[in-house]
């Protein structure tokens, strides 16, 4: 198989900005773009292959044809013809709502296949940008409900000023909110269930408040308090610097400063690369030559053993 590129899916949001189209070098006139779904197997929002042998097919259609060649043997045994991850770019011009996602067990009790654990990698941030992740003090469900009524819930949340390169892992059940001025990549389980618990009394263009899911959020919120919710890692040149190692995905960042051969042979999994900075010509062990630039996401099949990178660039790597 050859690596796959997909057509982007842009989503306008009440809190969206203007950076996604610029970063991806798009001529789109769509406004308030808050999300670009880079790779999705969710029904109704399935990514479509942009070029090559499978051009015009959805990721699900390709998966039905290529099976374990694309996913890897063990992944295909567990996932079948459902692609297990969702990759987004998020541009928050204003703050997102306070949210909670269900974990696997909670989601399955509600008839869903899986929950939604995710991670954030900050690609750019304004000087005063922050992320809110987890609880900083112990509260009960009743106290949480009162803080929602009093509009003080963010006072119970841990706040992190952020800069480019910061990383956070958010398992299902962990309360969180993306602050204004933050541009990030989000890698998550293939699930789009969000329980919006507080939205700052925000109104849409028609003057309507957005729906809240208070009872669902309160029931799946993890009330445990941790000393720190940030993921720390050491960045180094020309090697995979591991960030998140979860049951649902493993992520690393590469900063390539010279021609580099990336050995993927030990990984029995598809691999996703998300371009952060720069661009390069790539060549895999099967002789496929293709370009890869910042703002692009490529899906590398499990059959690929090695990729040669010619020019300096920076990218995220994801597999399961």
191 pLDDT higher than 80:
yes
Task: Tell me the average pLDDT across 270-295.
Answer: 97
260 pLDDT higher than 90:
yes
Which pLDDT score, from 0 to 100, does residue 5 have?
98
Task: Tell me the average pLDDT across 140-162.
Answer: 96
Confidence of residue 204 (pLDDT cuts 50, 70, 90): confident
Rounded to whole angstroms, what are the CA distances from 34 to 42, 126, 183, 208?
Answer: 18, 16, 9, 19
Task: Tell me the average pLDDT across 234-246.
Answer: 97
Percent of the chain with pLDDT over 90: 94
Assigned superfamily of 4-231: Jelly Rolls (2.60.120.10)
Confidence of residue 203 (pLDDT cuts 50, 70, 90): confident
Task: Tell me the average pLDDT across 181-204.
Answer: 94
Which pLDDT score, from 0 to 100, does residue 301 have?
98
Task: Tell me the average pLDDT across 141-165.
Answer: 97
Task: Tell me the average pLDDT across 164-171.
Answer: 98
Task: Tell me the average pLDDT across 152-163.
Answer: 98
Which pLDDT score, from 0 to 100, does residue 201 have?
87
Least confident of 21-35, 60-74, 196-210, 236-250: 196-210
Confidence of residue 208 (pLDDT cuts 50, 70, 90): confident
From-to residues of CATH 2.60.120.10 in the chain: 4-231, 241-319
The structure's pTM equals 0.96
Task: Tell me the average pLDDT across 254-270.
Answer: 97
Which pLDDT score, from 0 to 100, does residue 202 have?
87
Which pLDDT score, from 0 to 100, does residue 207 have?
81
Q: CATH number of the domain at 241-319, please?
A: 2.60.120.10
Give the pLDDT confidence of 266-279 residue by residue, as tens digits. Answer: 999 999 999 999 99
Task: Tell me the average pLDDT across 90-118.
Answer: 95
Task: Tell me the average pLDDT across 178-193.
Answer: 97
Give the pLDDT confidence of 57-94 residue by residue, as tens digits. Answer: 999 999 999 999 999 999 999 999 999 999 999 999 99
Which pLDDT score, from 0 to 100, does residue 205 have?
76
Give the pLDDT confidence of 302-319 residue by residue, as tens digits. Answer: 999 999 999 999 999 999
């Amino acid at each position: 198989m050859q690596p796959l590129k997909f057509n982007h899916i842009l989503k306008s949001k009440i809190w969206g900005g203007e950076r996604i189209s610029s970063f991806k070098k798009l001529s789109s006139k769509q406004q308030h773009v808050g999300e670009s779904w880079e790779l999705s197997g969710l029904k109704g929002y399935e990514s479509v292959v942009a070029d090559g042998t499978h051009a015009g097919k959805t990721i699900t259609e390709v998966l039905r044809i290529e099976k374990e060649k694309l996913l890897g043997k063990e992944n295909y045994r567990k996932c079948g013809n459902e692609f297990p991850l969702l990759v987004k770019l998020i541009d928050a011009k204003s703050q997102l709502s306070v949210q909670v996602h269900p974990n696997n067990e909670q989601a399955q009790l509600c008839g869903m296949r899986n929950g939604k654990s995710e991670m954030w990698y900050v690609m750019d941030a304004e000087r005063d940008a922050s992320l809110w992740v987890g609880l900083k003090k112990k509260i009960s469900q009743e106290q949480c409900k009162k803080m929602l009524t009093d509009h003080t819930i963010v006072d119970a949340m841990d706040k992190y000023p952020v800069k480019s390169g910061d990383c956070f892992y958010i398992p299902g059940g962990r309360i969180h909110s993306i602050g204004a001025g933050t541009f990030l990549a989000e890698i998550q389980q293939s699930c789009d269930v969000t329980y919006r618990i507080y939205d700052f009394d925000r109104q849409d263009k028609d003057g309507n408040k957005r729906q809240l899911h208070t009872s669902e959020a309160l029931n799946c919120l993890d009330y445990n308090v941790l000393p720190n919710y940030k993921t720390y890692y050491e960045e180094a040149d020309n090697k995979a610097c591991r960030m998140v190692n979860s049951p649902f995905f493993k992520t690393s960042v590469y900063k390539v400063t010279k021609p580099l051969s990336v050995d993927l042979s030990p990984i029995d999994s598809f691999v996703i690369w998300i371009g952060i900075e720069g661009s390069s010509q790539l060549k895999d062990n099967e002789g496929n030559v293709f370009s890869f630039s910042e703002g692009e996401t490529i899906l590398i099949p499990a059959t690929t053993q090695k990729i040669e990178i010619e020019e300096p660039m920076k990218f995220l790597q994801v597999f399961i």
